[in-house]
Amino acid sequence: FMWAAGLGLMGAPFITTGFWSKDAIFAAVYESGNEWALPLFAIAVLTAIITAFYTTRMLGLVFFGKKSKHIEKMEEEGHHIHEASLSMWVPYGILAVLTIGIGLIGLSAEENIHHLFTEYLDHSFGIHTEYHENGDSILPAPLDGLNPVALGSSLVAFSVGIGLGYIFYIGRWVDPVKFVNSNIFFYAIHKVMLNRWYLNAIIYWCFVVAPLWLARAVFRYFERTAIDYGMNDGFQKAAGWGAKVVQGTQTGVTQSYLFVFGAGLLFVVLILLI
């Protein structure tokens, strides 16, 4: 069942639903005539290669790889690998059987699937594709409804992906660790992918580190300086300084008070006369 599901995910030619849906997508994009058609088509083919590769890698590690340290530890504790329960593998098995069963009759439905994706591109993205009836095709009669470029690209993508996966993880002809470390380019790509494109680091810096720095800066330069020192201590010192100024004017000498009173009265009279 796992192999059937894996072949469906890889798009194994002519026997899986994944192949027919992939071929229909390739054909719809390639025939769209949009200015972005070829770049999108190239990205789709590259994605298909990567999908076939990592699926083969998964199958190789599960069925042909060494036991992980976790499994070895579990076996030492008396636990052993066993089949999943019925509630898990029965639905999985049904989907796997349908993947192969529908895939075997997929050739008859491929044209309808192609037409479905063509309408989807037209209505969702405004990418219009001229629908062509089966006519002059370079492919033999059973396949004359398929786009030869899309079909060839699908076969190449599957072959390249599963071939590389087999070389590294099933046949073990090349050690993937040594291969990655032998070239700075592949090492850099492996490093980026191993760190999940550094998305976790970017998210952490943007939403954890940066807000903490901002909070510390606000606390240090605004709350501690402007609020605590500027307002609390500042107002206290200003009030104390003002009290000292007013206190300095209180000499306790009667002549000084009379002099200030007379000067103030004279100032008011002059203001009124002017």
Q: For 215-229, what is each residue's pLDDT tens digit?
A: 998 888 887 777 777
**Identity of the residue numbered 119:** E
Q: Report how far residue 70's alpha carbon sits from residue 64's, in angstroms, rounded to the nearest whole number.
A: 17
The residue extents of the domains of the chain are 2-67+86-194, 201-273
Q: For 176-215, what is each residue's pLDDT tens digit?
A: 888 888 889 989 988 998 888 899 999 999 999 999 999 9
For the ranges 11-15, 90-94, 228-232, the lowest mean pLDDT is seen at 228-232
The Cα-based distances of 262 to 52, 247, 259, 265 in angstroms read 104, 20, 5, 5
**Identity of the residue numbered 142:** P
